Structure 1
Amino acid sequence: MLVAIVMIALSAFVLYQSRQDAAEYTRINLRNIALIAERDIERNFALYQLSLQTLIERLRQPRIMTLPLAVRRQVLFDRMATAGSLGTVLVVDRSGRVLLDSDDATPDQVSVASQKYFIVQRDDPHAGFYISDPYSSPLRFGTPSIALSKRISESDGSFGGIVVLVISLDYFRALFGVLSLGPHGSVSLIGKDGVTIMRQPLGNGILGKDISQSHTFRRFISAPEGSFSEIASIDGVRRLYWFKNFPGLPLIIMVAAAERDMYALWRTRAITIGSLMCIFGAVFIALSFSLAAQLRRRIQAEDELRLIARTDVLTGLNNRRTLDEILAKEWSTVKRNGSEFSLLFVDLDRFKAYNDTYGHQAGDDALASVARCIAHSIRRPRDTAARYGGEEFVVVLPDTNASGAQAVAEKISAAVNALNIAHVGSEHGCVTVSIGATSCRPDEDDDVASVVRAADAALYEAKAHGRNRVATVEKLHG
């Protein structure tokens, strides 16, 4: 599970980095698009400024102003085409009356005195190159436009009128229309006063809309350029924005890509990779659990085999082979510690007669019952009981003196008697045991075999004196 979780976590990290890369790629792409649009607008506006300044200089030449109207228009406006075929150029006198129109040889008596681009230039000698808010131009049949105006000053500095270049907003629409920003992307040109000049896509009421109080606009004017992610107030779509303030113009260019478009390819890839990794992780975990279950079954089987190899199947006590190992180990320990060692030999009385009378199955049941009595009579961790063979059992009691061994033996004998298993072939009328006990403090030259012989001898003594009793003898040598 840990390996699968690590693999899934690594995949999630890679997908997260891929998402970050998609956002960074989009941010760079937006910046490049903004720079392209900015440079195109700056180049054209610089040309517009130059054209208006050239027009003002020509208007100041008395010789040109004395030419016939048709010739004068040709001289004044012959280079206006270099500014593109997007604008109408007007010459307006100090009262706001249109004197010359680049599109009309004989302009009507039209006044623009109420237009803001005229008022600003009239009232502020330092207004310079002024860019108006979007408006419906009466000179261009109500076409949405902006006006670029510049003041004409007399020799004494007084107001002498303005020159105006009226630009259709179709110019910006055409410029923004070729920019690739995805199905839900947007691009806007905004005045630094917060008035929207153009937006693509264009919706109702967007042209001329004042967004100066919006949180998004405050982000636009907070730095010369930058990027951020936010939900648009116009349509509620979350977008990644890149904005740039024009250094020489009161304009802000903003391009934005919708996050749903920005992450569309990444989302498909993430779903595919994520699903595959989850499936792989689930399969990996399932296989791991299956393998673990098999290993547990194998370990359990091996434990059972080891238990069978060390345990007597009938009684559940240790077998003879295990008894030999325990005797060797405990004998070595008590010799090293100099402590006492006791051993009990337990034998069922008249067991052959019991088998002959009640059958071997009953005999096996009697053996198992006696084994349980022996197991329940020893409590210390190091005390051990084993089936020695046939109806004989051995109890190993390390660190136990003669009185302790006697007490354990009496407890076993009493427990067997309490079973009250009928035995007509016994002089006691029930199944009983005879127990031989021996205890010693081993010397350097002693071996455990002598202790076993002593316990065996004590067992025969118990049988010789009427059975169903405990006999004790000292350890035998030789």
Structure 2
Amino acid sequence: MIVVLLAFTLASFWALIAWKGMQERALAFAKAGSETQGLTHSLAQHASKSFNAVALALFGAGQYILHSDKSARASAEINDLLAQYAKNIPQVREIGVLAENGDWMFSSFETVPAVNNGDRDYFRYHRDHPEDETPRISEPLTSRVTGRPTLLMTQRLSNPDGSFGGVIFAAIDLAYFRSFYAEFEADLNRTVTLMKTNGKVLVHRRDDQVGKDMTGTALFSGRLKDAGTGLYSIVSPFDGRTKQFAYERLSDFPIVISVAVAEDTILDGWRGDRRFDLLLGAAISTILIGLAVVLALQTRKRSVMARMLRERERGYRLLAENVEDVVTRIDMDGRRLYVSPSIEKLLGWSADEIIRESAYSNIHPAHRELIKGLIGQLGAQNRTATCEYMTRRRDGNYVWVEAQLNFVQDPDEPTAEIVGAIRDISKRKAAEEQLVAANEQLKALSETDPLTGLANRRRFDRMFDAEFKRCQRSGSQLSVLFIDIDKFKSFNDTYGHSAGDDCIRQVAGALASCLKRPADLVARYGGEEFAVLLPETAAINAEVVAEAARNAVHDLAIQHHGSPDGSVTISVGVAGGKCDARNSTSSMLAAADGALYLAKEQGRNRVCVAAENPSLTLVRPAG
């Protein structure tokens, strides 16, 4: 019997090691795949935002050119605008405008290059396709001005009569993407590739692969046609290694981003664990064989001890097996000694199945170390503990339970045990989570303007106070903008309150689009008034943001016959400075309000900075 038992135990043990190895191998691939797909999605979002920023700049510059006159002053302003766009968008190296004959007309350079690009494919395309005014992305090419490899985003310019007026383009610096992707490639030997949907490689860790045609690969011949995102194993067309490959196609541009990780790299950690498991299995097998020899000599003695133990536990089992709570016994190392049959109702496993697993095996990973630490603290001086945690059911779902743990030291036993009673508290937890969610939703609603979806005055005041105190501690600067829609009462009287609400929503969207940092905040302060909070920002920089906001609203071109400009405009008051004893939130708001009043007095549709007007009255006069 001992030989049969030993053989069965060793076979089960080694089968478990083999199963564990296969499971961990599959888990390594699954985990790596999840991380790779997540990284691919993040990089796709980054690429989409990068290209959209360029497209938005082209649109804004194109609109400015369309509505400007042909004077020398207007040309200088357009060149300055293009230079500002090129400076503020890191992925753009230069922005230029070609006339209808292909000559450079405007440029972000200090001087307009004397180069003709009329023979370029993109120029001919826009000239010959008047119906297509959407931005297009070119193949990789060499700039005639800088001589550097580049990628162009181009857009047709049409004259007011619809005729061809030229092409506006932005040179996208591929090195920007290369340096950004390099941060993600160092770990796990990843390779990030940016491609067009026609199969042309735009960015790769090896510069000699840029421009390579990938149309013959499975990605472009089949998978990309079936799904915009996916994960599969490939033999890399770049280095011939077997890799886990994830891809995602951008929804708004003909671009595909992919991330490839060598399978050998994924399995490095698994191989180390596998070698450890084999060494541990050999050691345990040796110990089991030695124990079997000892067991053979102690059979009769152990048989007597087993009968005594069964009699002592009979009464305990009778009680434990007839209650709904799960009763369990574990030793101080976390091995289960007993589990009552009620475990099947709670978790779906039978007692015989789960007792073979560690007491921590089905505890949620986030709670496992907490429970281990709690059990480790139990002893003669600390005999009881109560804890709540999540444990895994047989179907894979997790359920909340409460455990009452008791430290027991039997004088007839060499080691101490933990006796626990476990009950299901999932309904109570669900009710608690619903209450927390309801409170969070209520808080969000109380700080959100229902018309625009922006923050309301309550949230603005709270964030302003918090940022002011933070800037006081750090000695940094803080700026605030007060914004008012010009002649809004006249707009409401002319077009009605429904149109007025729609106007406020559009203006709110334009203002929000001008804020790029997470800490920046725009709020509807009341009626047609808005307020903008700019932490870590000096007044001179806040003025730039204010001008961008004013231009963004002006570019909406919302018709307003009651305005001198014929469209909806805004006036902006700017106040900023260091958050020290000389300033306060109320004084800064008063300064911005006074600056707004001065902007109104000076003719509206303008920005006024309090710091630049020493004589500015900080409190708005009555009336």
Same fold (TM over 0.5): yes
Q: Offset at 1:163?
A: 0.2
Q: Distance in 1 between matches of 2:166 and 2:199?
A: 28
Instruction: Encode CA deviations 1:441-460: one digit per residue, 9 max, x unaligned.
Output: xxxxxxxxxxxxxxxxxxxx
Q: Report the equivalent of 1:167.
A: 172
Contact in 2 for aligned 1:242/1:256 (Cα 8 Å): yes
Q: Report the equivalent of 1:442.
A: none
Amino acid of the structure 1 residue aligned with 2:107: D
Q: Report the equivalent of 2:215.
A: 212
CA spacing shift, 1:257–1:287, aligned 2, 3 Å = same
Q: Report the equivalent of 1:107.
A: 113
Contact in 2 for aligned 1:239/1:256 (Cα 8 Å): yes
Instruction: Encode CA deviations 1:271-303: one digit per residue, 9 max, x unaligned.
Output: 1112331454467569869999xx9xxxxxxxx
Amino acid of the structure 1 residue aligned with 2:229: E
Q: Offset at 1:134?
A: 1.2
Q: Report the equivalent of 2:151.
A: 146
Q: 2:240 aligns with which of 236, 239, 242?
A: 236
CA spacing shift, 1:62–1:290, aligned 2, 3 Å = closer
CA spacing shift, 1:254–1:98, aligned 2, 3 Å = same
CA spacing shift, 1:6–1:187, aligned 2, 3 Å = same
CA spacing shift, 1:134–1:76, aligned 2, 3 Å = closer
TM-score, with length taken from structure 1? 0.56
SS in 1 for 2:130: coil
SS in 2 for 1:233: coil
Contact in 1 for aligned 2:199/2:213 (Cα 8 Å): yes
Q: Offset at 1:119?
A: 2.3
Comparing 37-46 with 189-198, greater Cα deviation is found at: 37-46
Amino acid of the structure 2 residue aligned with 1:241: F
Q: Report the equivalent of 1:7.
A: 13
Q: 2:80 aligns with which of 67, 74, 86?
A: 74
Q: Distance in 2 between matches of 1:27 and 1:64?
A: 56
SS in 2 for 1:173: helix
CA spacing shift, 1:111–1:282, aligned 2, 3 Å = farther
1:38 aligns with 2:41: no
Amino acid of the structure 2 residue aligned with 1:153: S
CA spacing shift, 1:270–1:161, aligned 2, 3 Å = same
CA spacing shift, 1:182–1:224, aligned 2, 3 Å = same
Q: Report the equivalent of 1:259.
A: 263
Q: Report the equivalent of 2:135.
A: 129
SS in 1 for 2:226: coil
Instruction: Encode CA deviations 1:173-193: one digit per residue, 9 max, x unaligned.
Output: 011011156353211111000
Q: Report the equivalent of 1:29.
A: 35
Amino acid of the structure 2 residue aligned with 1:93: A
Instruction: Encode CA deviations 1:148-174: one digit per residue, 9 max, x unaligned.
Output: 000011223222210010012101101
SS in 2 for 1:100: strand
Q: 2:279 aligns with which of 275, 280, 283?
A: 275
CA spacing shift, 1:252–1:85, aligned 2, 3 Å = closer
Q: Report the equivalent of 1:157.
A: 162
Greater C-alpha Rg: 1
Q: Distance in 2 between matches of 1:273 and 1:177?
A: 35
Note the residue ranges of structure 1 that are not aligned, 5 or more in a row: 296-478
TM-score, with length taken from structure 2? 0.43
Contact in 2 for aligned 1:31/1:242 (Cα 8 Å): yes
Q: Report the equivalent of 2:230.
A: 226
1:94 aligns with 2:100: yes
Q: Offset at 1:61?
A: 2.4
Q: Report the equivalent of 1:52.
A: 58
SS in 1 for 2:189: coil
Amino acid of the structure 2 residue aligned with 1:111: N
Q: Distance in 2 between matches of 1:133 and 1:278?
A: 59
Instruction: Encode CA deviations 1:53-84: one digit per residue, 9 max, x unaligned.
Output: 11111212243644265444224543443323
Superposed, 1:361-376 pairs within 5 Å as: none
Q: Report the equivalent of 2:201.
A: 196
Q: Distance in 2 between matches of 1:28 and 1:181?
A: 18
Contact in 2 for aligned 1:181/1:257 (Cα 8 Å): no
Instruction: Encode CA deviations 1:97-126: one digit per residue, 9 max, x unaligned.
Output: 222221142321x12122222222222234
Contact in 1 for aligned 2:194/2:201 (Cα 8 Å): yes
CA spacing shift, 1:66–1:241, aligned 2, 3 Å = same
Q: Distance in 2 between matches of 1:28 and 1:104?
A: 47
Q: Which has the higher contact order (CA 8 A, sep 6+)?
A: 1
SS in 1 for 2:162: coil
Q: Distance in 1 between matches of 2:154 and 2:56?
A: 12
Contact in 1 for aligned 2:90/2:176 (Cα 8 Å): no
Superposed, 1:459-478 pairs within 5 Å as: none
CA spacing shift, 1:124–1:22, aligned 2, 3 Å = same
Instruction: Encode CA deviations 1:401-437: one digit per residue, 9 max, x unaligned.
Output: xxxxxxxxxxxxxxxxxxxxxxxxxxxxxxxxxxxxx
SS in 1 for 2:211: coil
Q: Distance in 1 between matches of 2:81 and 2:183?
A: 35
SS in 2 for 1:213: coil
Superposed, 1:324-343 pairs within 5 Å as: none
CA spacing shift, 1:96–1:64, aligned 2, 3 Å = closer
SS in 1 for 2:116: coil
Q: Report the equivalent of 1:63.
A: 69
Q: Distance in 1 between matches of 2:35 and 2:161?
A: 51
Q: Distance in 1 between matches of 2:136 and 2:250?
A: 14
